[in-house]
Amino acid sequence: MGDPLRGMMKSLSALVLMTGAACLLCGVKASYNIGVGIADVTGPCAEVGFMGYGKVDQKGKGLHTRQFSRAFIIDDGKQRLVFVSVDGAMMGTGLRREILARLQKVYGNLYTADNVMISGTHTHSTPGGYMQNMFLDVSVLGFVRETFIALMTGIINSIRNAHETMTKGRIYMAQGELLYANINRSPTAYLANPPEERAKYEYDVDKTMVQLKFVTESGRPMGAINWFAVHPTSMNNTNHLVSSDNVGYASVLFEQRMNKGYLIGKGPFVAAFASTNLGDVSPNTDGPRCEFTGRPCDVHSSTCSGKREMCFASGPGPDMFESTRMIAEKLDNKAWDLWNGKDSEEVTGPVKSVHQFVDMPSQEAEYYDPGSQTSKTVRGCLPAMGYSFAAGTTDGPGTFAFRQGMKTENPLWNAVRNFLASPSQWDKKCHYPKPILLATGEMDFPFEWQPRIVSTQLALVGNVALACVPGEFTTMAGRRLREAVSSSVSGLRSKNVVVVGLCNTYSDYITTPEEYQVQRYEGASTLYGPHTLTLHLNQYKKLAENLEKNSRLDSGPIPPNLSDDLVCLVTPVVFDTPKWDHRFGDCISQPPERVESGMTVTAKFVAAHPRNNLTHGFTYLTVERYDDASRRWTIVATDANWETRFHWIRVSPILGTSEALIEWTVGPDVVPGNYRIRHYGSYKYIFGGIFPYQGTTKIFKVINPRSGYRG
């Protein structure tokens, strides 16, 4: 190379270096590889118990809104992180294990326990039977394979869809206050926390929504993850329609804003409203009242003076459907403000993640008692549930003569408890002051009742930390976790630490030691004793220090595989028969010939059991409008839309006959014209085989009297 050319190359290299330095100085950031994906995970919507309220008689009778899994992949060129928010009650260790095993068959070691986070939204109106812990599956009558498969395949598909859409992009973080969307359902327990600690916070629940915004390098919107502390319990324990509840509908609303012209679950933009430290947080903002008198309940015990009068919370709407809609709209509107706001900061820096299984009863940690101003070594207990757990919450009251705040044992209930398993003296001492109602750590028939080994995981995406926690942290427990993680990573602000709730494993509640002493529902459901949170804080500090030092961490003890021990008592579908002198799909109750905006159109069909085909990626119903220009029928709504409801009615269990009642509420923005409703299903033939069918109503006209259109 000649000297002039060499000099030119040196000058060019210097210019490149100077340009790069100048860009760094002026704030140009390196982008990530980002992928987003969504997939249907709707479980069996008929004759399978719901997971959440623990009511044996709360079984599915149809569909309110579909369940979806929403996946986000972030890759910095060296490491990647997968975050999944799924419309489900929670995540189970066995389910996550199977998901990872199947991913690794396709992608090798690209997706592992270290870098895959799966978080349940915690809706209480979805099918259960997939947790593989006896305590969590007992109210659903055991393991339900259909639910397990629906969640597993849907979550895998959402990750696969995210994997296939990966492109260069940027991430922005925004935070903002949202009021009148949540309240503390255990305020007396919260007040047990130190006054000087409570004085640091304005509210007894977190009012801050945190948003991660994903866009391509060209600025095209890709997706968003929003975290806001609220229980998806607007749909109460009288509901029998599968529903993603308030946070699930908020996701749909946000996606509908961005995916114009797409059916729900089909558009490229993906929006998750994921769970965080929601343990003591209720969406029922009108607060708890006595069932018949409407008077305020006793604030500590959540009881009423009437012997048969229950205490429950409701609001802000007149019924559970309106309350769900109103909370969802509040969440959606705030997320939209954050998306369009100017106060967001770009997320930059490497992606790191670490995971470790922990045997909670064997853990030890140092605890500083502010009361005595001394430190001591504390350890975990075998899992156990207290008396107040049976009282339920003001979102879903329990049964029998239990109340919240119970600290005194009852000989009769102890006798019932001891028939199952007696707690040892060590159990009683370890869990004090919790009176043990179920010594689940001593119970292993027919298989493990509650987990001893839990998943703990922490990830850093630049200057944002995601603490994936195996349960429901209360408000103050989550605040302490954020402080603990931020104090262990240099330069990390506590407000940039996100508590990712109900993640990977479910081990019920995590309260502060002070809240535990009060023994409200949350404290009674804190499995590993009064210092469950203390042990978690110690563990997440260790995970944070590991990420800070880039050191290796062992995987910890492997949870038992219970797949071969599972029991199912849910009756299978044996066969279907149509109504006498009819065929499957026949419409036996037609809509009126003309309907107006605001009216609810109904149609009834001869149907089969919905469990024959969960119609993933499709629907049990469509509302269709005839397009005069194209001379085709266009789908305007499916069973994933808020304005539709699918009711399954069992006419005769002996004969196997059933009906489908479909409702469609005509919104104000519906285009006038000719419409029809279609029903899709599959029937099980008595001699074997499952076969599809469909049915269609007569054509009816939608008119809009305000515009003068009469069709």
Per residue in 318-330, pLDDT (tens digit) is: 999 999 999 999 9
What are the pLDDT digits (tens) for 343-369? 999 999 999 999 999 999 999 999 988
What are the pLDDT digits (tens) for 130-148? 999 999 999 999 999 999 9
DSSP H or E segment with residue 522 = helix 521-524
428: its two tokens: 């009683």
**Whether 351 contacts 78, CB under 8 Å:** yes
Given CA atoms 663, 681, 63, 650 in this order, what sign does their dihedral have?
A: positive
pLDDT-based confidence at residue 14 (cuts at 50, 70, 90):
very low
What pLDDT is attached to residue 560?
Answer: 95
Backbone angles phi, psi at 398, to 5 degrees: -85, -150
- Strands of 573-689 (E only): list them: 587-589, 594-596, 600-607, 621-627, 632-638, 644-652, 657-665, 673-684
What pLDDT is attached to residue 704?
Answer: 78
Backbone angles phi, psi at 372, to 5 degrees: -90, -10
> Which of these ranges, 43-47, 386-390, 531-535, 564-568, has the smallest mean pLDDT?
564-568
What pLDDT is attached to residue 281?
Answer: 98
What are the pLDDT digits (tens) for 648-695? 999 999 999 999 999 999 999 999 999 999 999 999 999 999 999 999
**Whether 39 contacts 161, CB under 8 Å:** yes
23, pLDDT greater than 90: no
pLDDT-based confidence at residue 26 (cuts at 50, 70, 90):
very low
pLDDT-based confidence at residue 398 (cuts at 50, 70, 90):
confident
**Whether 358 contacts 456, CB under 8 Å:** yes
What are the pLDDT digits (tens) for 564-591? 889 999 999 999 999 999 999 999 999 9
| Angstrom distance (rounded) from CA 609 to CA 684 | 8
pLDDT-based confidence at residue 552 (cuts at 50, 70, 90):
confident
Backbone angles phi, psi at 242, to 5 degrees: -60, 130
CA distances for 189 relative to 196, 197, 524, angstroms: 16, 14, 11
What pLDDT is attached to residue 19?
Answer: 35
pLDDT-based confidence at residue 21 (cuts at 50, 70, 90):
very low
351: its two tokens: 């992606």
3 state SS of 117: strand
**Mean pLDDT along residues 528-534:** 98
What pLDDT is attached to residue 705?
Answer: 63
3 state SS of 380: coil
What pLDDT is attached to residue 706?
Answer: 57
What pLDDT is attached to residue 18?
Answer: 34
11, pLDDT greater than 90: no
**Predicted TM-score of the model (pTM):** 0.94
182: its two tokens: 């949540």
Any idea what the Cα angle at residue 570 is, between residues 133 and 452, rounded to 5°? 0
458, pLDDT greater than 90: yes
| Residue in 283, 179, 286 with CA at minimum distance from that of residue 230 | 283
422: its two tokens: 């007696």
| Angstrom distance (rounded) from CA 436 to CA 162 | 45
What pLDDT is attached to residue 495?
Answer: 95
13, pLDDT greater than 60: no
| Angstrom distance (rounded) from CA 379 to CA 364 | 4
| Angstrom distance (rounded) from CA 645 to CA 462 | 43
Average pLDDT, the chain: 93
pLDDT-based confidence at residue 709 (cuts at 50, 70, 90):
very low
507, pLDDT greater than 50: yes
What pLDDT is attached to residue 30?
Answer: 56
What pLDDT is attached to residue 25?
Answer: 28
What is the percent of the chain where pLDDT is above 90?
89
Q: What is the DSSP pairing of strand 183-184 with strand 385-386?
A: unpaired
Query: Among the residues of 302-385, which ranges form H helices?
Result: 320-340
- Active-site annotation, residues: 282
**Mean pLDDT along residues 613-625:** 97
What pLDDT is attached to residue 20?
Answer: 35
433: its two tokens: 């002051």
CA distances for 297 relative to 180, 312, 388, 425, 585, angstroms: 21, 8, 16, 35, 49
Query: Among the residues of 525-623, which ranges form H helices?
Result: 532-549
**Whether 682 contacts 610, CB under 8 Å:** no
3 state SS of 502: coil
What pLDDT is attached to residue 375?
Answer: 93
| Angstrom distance (rounded) from CA 430 to CA 384 | 10
What are the pLDDT digits (tens) for 189-228? 999 999 999 999 999 999 999 999 999 999 999 999 999 9
518, pLDDT greater than 80: yes
Q: Report residue 183 CA to chain centroid gap.
A: 19
533: number of Cβ within 10 Å? 28
What pLDDT is attached to residue 370?
Answer: 80
pLDDT-based confidence at residue 79 (cuts at 50, 70, 90):
very high
| Angstrom distance (rounded) from CA 334 to CA 331 | 5
Angle between helices 532-549 and 475-488 (to 10 degrees): 30
Q: Report residue 85 CA to chain centroid gap.
A: 6
**Mean pLDDT along residues 284-300:** 93
Amino acid code (one letter) for 554: D
pLDDT-based confidence at residue 373 (cuts at 50, 70, 90):
confident
CA distances for 168 relative to 81, 271, 525, angstroms: 15, 18, 44
What pLDDT is attached to residue 31?
Answer: 86
What are the pLDDT digits (tens) for 301-317? 999 986 678 999 999 99
